[in-house]
Amino acid sequence: MALIVQKYGGTSVANTDRIKNVAQRVASYHAKGDQVIVVVSAMGGVTDRLIGLANEIMPIPTDREMDMLLATGEQTTIALTAMALHTLNVSAVSLTGAQAGIVTDGVHTKAKIRNITPSQVHSMLDAGNVVIVAGFQGQTTEGNITTLGRGGSDLTAIAIASAVKADLCQIYTDVDGVYTTDPRLVSTAKKLDEISYDEMLELASSGAKVMQSRSVEFAKKFGVPFEVRSSLNQNPGTLVKEETANMENVVVRGVSLDKNQAKVTLVGVPDRPGVAAKIFKALSDAAVNVDMIVQNVGHGSNPTTDLSFTVERTDLAKSQQVIAALNSEIGFTEVVSQEEMGKLSVVGVGMKSHSGIAAKLFDVLSAQNVNIDMISTSEIKISVVVALTQAEDALKAAHDAFIA
Amino acid sequence: MALIVQKYGGTSVANTDRIKNVAQRVASYHAKGDQVIVVVSAMGGVTDRLIGLANEIMPIPTDREMDMLLATGEQTTIALTAMALHTLNVSAVSLTGAQAGIVTDGVHTKAKIRNITPSQVHSMLDAGNVVIVAGFQGQTTEGNITTLGRGGSDLTAIAIASAVKADLCQIYTDVDGVYTTDPRLVSTAKKLDEISYDEMLELASSGAKVMQSRSVEFAKKFGVPFEVRSSLNQNPGTLVKEETANMENVVVRGVSLDKNQAKVTLVGVPDRPGVAAKIFKALSDAAVNVDMIVQNVGHGSNPTTDLSFTVERTDLAKSQQVIAALNSEIGFTEVVSQEEMGKLSVVGVGMKSHSGIAAKLFDVLSAQNVNIDMISTSEIKISVVVALTQAEDALKAAHDAFIA
C-alpha cells in the first residue's frame, strides 16, 4: 500500500467524459489498496472564460477578486471528480486549497506556498477516502483566497506530496513523459525513463516546456521525486528525481530547441565601465528577460566594442525601444536585430565528468554548414544560437550525434 | 449614515452589464455615507449549467459535492461585483459564505443557518469597504461548504441583516414590490407600501411567490423588517414588517390566486376511525403536499363519507397512484379527480377584527356565478377552491370588491 499524489491538468479534465476517465484511473489505484490524493486543475477553457468575464468588467481586474474568481474553476473540477468516483462506488471527498490546509503569502495571482497543514487530508484519507484537492489555490493566514500563478496545480501536487511524505507523485499530462528532444521535430526522439531535476530545469529553460520551472525547482528544493506521464494511456512516464551517480553514465540526456529567440547587436559601443550595466538595467526595468550576452573586446586608444544579446522574440520590439532611448546617453554606432533565431541546447549531468562535448557539437553543426552565432555553457549544458532557418536541421544532427 | 444590507437575485446579476448596474446602485448608497453589505446570487442560468454538468456525471449527484459545485456560482458573482465597484473607485471586498461567518447545520443542499459570526464583515466595513457576500451558502463547524436550498440568498441577506443589526434590508428583484394581487391578471392591482410578515406568508402560500416562505418566516422570527423592491428602477418597494396596530385598518391586504391546484375526491369511504389518517399518512410518505381537506359527515348504520383534498397539480398523478394502492385496504367506491382547479385567497390582518368578510366573498362570487368547491379559513385568510375556468374572473371580482 502506497500513498500516491496524482495531478491531472486542464486537458485531462476538459469535460465530464475526461473526468470519468480520470476517476477510472484513480479508482484502479484505490482498488489496489493505495491511498490516493488527487490534485486537479480547472477544466480546459474555464479559466479563460472566467478571465473573459472579468475583462468585461475591467481591463486589469483587481488581484484579490481575480483570485476569488479563478478559484471557482478548480472548485468546480474537484466536485465533479468526487462525483465521478462516487459513481464507481469509491468514497471520495473534495477539498478546496484552503480546506486542504495550503497556506500562501498574500501576493494575489502569483502567491507562494508558505506551508501546508494536511490534517484534514490525513483524516479523510484515514477514513478510507480518495481526497480530491483543488490545485492552483490556497489561502493566506488571514483567510483570503489566493492563486499560485502559472503551473500552480503542479506546484500544489508537489507541495502536498512533500507535506504528506507521499511515496509517489504523478503529474498526468497529455504527453507520455520527458523526451530526449521534441518528438514533433525529431522522429527518433526517445522517452526518458528518468531525468535529474537539474537536467529537467535546463531543458525547460531551453524550450522543452513539459512543466513550469518553479514546480521543478520546488521539487528539487524539498526532494520530491515525481513522474511525468500521460493521462491518455497506461504507459510508464519519466521519473524526475535527484541526480544519482549512475546518471552520469549518460553524457547527454536531451537536446532542446527554443525557436522563439531574437538577437540584438549594438555596434560601436564605447568600451568603458558601466555601459553594459546601464543597458541591461534599462532592459530589466522594462521587464525584458535577457538570455545570452556576448561582448567583444575593445581595441585601440578610444576603444569601442560590439555587444550582442538574445531575448524572447515577443520582447524584441520593446528591447529595440529601450535601446533606442539609450543612444543619446551612451552613443553607439548602430543597432542590428535578427528576429528569427533559435537556441539549441545539449543537456546532461554527465557533461560534468566528460569533456569534449562542446567540440563534438561544433563539429556536428559545422558538418551541416550551420553557423553558430553565440555560445553559452553551464556545468550541464551547452547552448548555441543559430539562424532559425537552420535550427531544426541542427537539432536533428545534434540528436543523431549524441543520443539516437 | 445607515447600515444597509442589499440582496440582488440571479436576474439582477444575469450578466456583466447587469452587475455594473448593481454596482452603480450600491455606489450611490456608499456615496451617501451608508455602510453597505451586498448579498448576491449566482448569475442567472449558472446554477442550471452546474447542475447540468453534475448530471452528466451522475443522475442524482451526492449532496456534499453538489454543494461544493453550486457554491462556485455565487463565488463568481461576488468577485465580479467587487470588480465592478472597483471600476467606480469604491473600495469593496468579496467574501464567500464561509468567510462571512455563516455557520450552518450539515444538511447539504438544504442547510439551515445556525449562527453568523460577522467579525470579518464588520472589520471590512469599518475599513471603509462595501462588503459583498455570497448568498445561498455557508459552512459547517467542520468546515464543509453547504448551500441553503431554494430562496437561500434571501435567507442569507435577512440573516446577515439580523446578525449585524442592519438599519435596513433591501431585497432587490425584478418586480416593484408586493402587489394587492397579480398585476398580470388584474390591471387594477396596486403596489403595497407595507405588509405584515403574516400577510406576506399567507399570500406566498397562496401563490404570490415574491419570496420563499422560509425567508419571511426567518425575518419574522428574528424581527428583521425588509423591503422588496426592483433592481430595474428607483421606485420605493414594499416594506415587510411586524404587524402594527394601524395595519388592521386595512381589512384585506391582498387577493391571490394559485392556479396549480387539483382536487381528488374519494367517494364512499367507510366512515370509521383511522381511515383518514391512513390516507394522509400514505400521501405524506409519498412526499405529496396536501393543502385543503373536506370530509362530509356519514349517515346511517353503516355510514360512508366523501373525502376531498387538494394537491399541487404536478402531484396529482402520484396522488392517484397512492390512493389506488390503498383501495383494497380501505374500500371506497370510486375516485374522482378534477385536474384544473384554482385557489383564491383573501388575506389581511384586519380580518381578525372585522367580521363578514367570508359572507361578502361568497356574495361577490355568487354574483359572478362562480361555484365554490371547497373553503378553508385562518385568522387572517379565507381561501376558496374554484374551477380554473372561472378563477381569473373570480380574482378580478374579489379584488374589485375588497381593494380597488
The reply to whether A134 falls in a domain is: yes
Same domain, A313 and A165: no
Query: Which triple of cell numbers denotes residue A145?
Result: 483566497
Q: In what order do the strands lie in the sheet with B137-139?
A: B113-116, B102-104, B137-139, B145-147
Binary contact (B79, A87; C-beta < 8 A):
no
Q: Quote the distance between the C-alpha of residue A296 and its chain's center.
A: 33
CA distance B404 to B397: 10
Same domain, B16 and B159: yes
Query: Which triple of cell numbers denotes residue B392?
Result: 381569473
Closest by CA position to A31, among listed A128, A165, A122: A128
Q: In what order do the strands lie in the sheet with B3-8?
A: B92-95, B130-134, B35-40, B3-8, B168-173, B226-230, B238-241, B194-196
**Global ipTM:** 0.87
Same domain, B160 and B307: no
The whole-number pLDDT of residue A110 equals 93
Contact B77, B10 (CB under 8 A): no
The whole-number pLDDT of residue A304 equals 86
Same domain, A145 and A287: no
The reply to whether A240 falls in a domain is: no
Binary contact (A83, B61; C-beta < 8 A):
yes
Give the pLDDT mean for A365-384.
93
Length in residues, chain B: 404
CA distance A349 to A334: 40
pLDDT values of chain B reduced to their tens digit, one per residue, 404 residues: 899 999 999 999 999 999 999 999 999 999 999 999 999 999 999 999 999 999 999 999 999 999 999 999 999 999 999 999 999 999 999 999 999 999 999 999 999 999 999 999 999 999 999 999 999 999 999 999 999 998 899 999 999 999 999 999 999 998 899 999 999 899 999 999 999 999 999 987 776 677 888 999 999 999 999 999 999 999 999 999 999 888 888 889 999 999 999 999 999 998 888 888 999 999 999 989 999 998 877 677 778 889 999 999 999 999 999 999 998 888 899 999 999 999 999 999 999 888 889 999 999 999 999 999 999 988 999 999 999 999 999 999 999 999 97
Q: With beta carbons under 8 A apart, name residues in chain A contacting B65.
A: 79-80, 82-83, 86, 94
Same domain, A28 and A141: yes
Q: With beta carbons under 8 A apart, name residues in chain A contacting B56.
A: 16
Closest by CA position to A153, among listed A83, A86, A207, A100: A100
The whole-number pLDDT of residue B68 equals 98
Same domain, A167 and A264: no
Give the pLDDT mean for A58-66.
96
Same domain, B42 and B167: yes
Binary contact (A72, B76; C-beta < 8 A):
yes
Question: What backbone phi and psi angles, to 5 degrees, belong to B203?
Answer: -65, -40
A134-145, pLDDT tens digit by residue? 999 999 999 999
Residue with cell 402560500: B205
The whole-number pLDDT of residue B207 equals 66
Secondary structure E strands in B300-354 = 304-312, 334-347
CA distance A183 to A205: 18
Taking the alpha carbons of B164, B169, B174, B180 in that order, is the dihedral positive or negative? positive
Binary contact (B53, A93; C-beta < 8 A):
no
Same domain, B271 and B371: yes
The reply to whether B92 falls in a domain is: yes
CA angle B7/B12/B16 to nearest 5° reads 120
Contact A249, A281 (CB under 8 A): no
Helix (H, G, I), strand (E, B) or coil at A221: helix
Binary contact (A94, B53; C-beta < 8 A):
no
Which of A174, A192, A222 represents a domain boundary (last residue)? A174
CATH of the domain at B112: 3.40.1160.10
Per-residue exposure over B299-309, b if at least 16 CB sit within 10 Å of its own CB, e if not: eeeeebbbbbb
Helix (H, G, I), strand (E, B) or coil at A190: coil
Length in residues, chain A: 404
Which of A155, A174, A193 represents a domain boundary (last residue)? A174
Residue B243 corresponds to which amino acid?
Answer: E
CA distance B133 to B143: 17
Separation in Å, CA of A30 to nearest CA in chain B: 19
- Domain boundaries, position B87: 3-174
Ramachandran quadrant class, B44 (left: phi over 0; alpha: psi -120 to 50; beta: rest): beta
Between the CA atoms of B9, B14, B19 and B21, what dihedral angle is there, to the nearest 10 degrees?
-90
Closest partner residue to A79 (CB to CB) among B16, B20, B65 is B65
Give the pLDDT mean for A170-194.
93
The reply to whether A215 falls in a domain is: no
Residue B247 corresponds to which amino acid?
Answer: M
The reply to whether A269 falls in a domain is: yes
With a CB cutoff of 8 Å and minimum separation 6, the contacts of A369 are: A390
CA angle A285/A288/A289 to nearest 5° reads 120
Bridge partners of B264?
Answer: B309, B337
Same domain, A394 and A271: yes
The whole-number pLDDT of residue A381 equals 94
| Cα-based distances in Å from A265 to A283, A307, A319, A391, B88 | 14, 6, 11, 20, 46
Contact B30, B90 (CB under 8 A): yes
CA distance A19 to B264: 47
Same domain, B167 and B265: no
The reply to whether B213 falls in a domain is: no
Residue with cell 374522482: B336
Give the pLDDT mean for A336-356.
92
The whole-number pLDDT of residue A398 equals 96
Which of B159, B174, B189 represents a domain boundary (last residue)? B174
Instruction: Kindly indicate the confidence band of residue A207, based on its pLDDT and cuts at 50, 70 and 90.
Output: low
Instruction: Kindly indicate the confidence band of residue A65, based on its pLDDT and cuts at 50, 70 and 90.
Output: very high
Secondary structure E strands in B32-135 = 35-40, 92-95, 102-104, 113-116, 130-134
Which residue of chain A has the CA closest to B57? A84
Give the pLDDT mean for A211-219.
92
Binary contact (B72, A69; C-beta < 8 A):
no
Instruction: Kindly indicate the confidence band of residue A365, based on its pLDDT and cuts at 50, 70 and 90.
Output: very high
In Å, the largest CA–CA distance within chain B is 83
Contact B266, B324 (CB under 8 A): no
Element housing B6 (H / E): strand B3-8
Same domain, B9 and B156: yes
The reply to whether A41 falls in a domain is: yes
A272-315, pLDDT tens digit by residue? 888 889 999 999 999 899 999 988 776 777 788 899 999 999 99
Contact A208, A258 (CB under 8 A): no
CA distance B363 to B357: 10
Report how many domains make up chain A: 2
Mutate to test the interface with B, among A21, A47, A80, A145 (most CBs of B within 10 A): A80
Binary contact (B16, A86; C-beta < 8 A):
no
The reply to whether B211 falls in a domain is: no
CATH of the domain at A387: 3.30.2130.10
With a CB cutoff of 8 Å and minimum separation 6, the contacts of A133 are: A37, A38, A39, A40, A78, A94, A95, A97, A100, A102, A121, A156, A160
Same domain, B138 and B268: no
Contact A110, A148 (CB under 8 A): yes
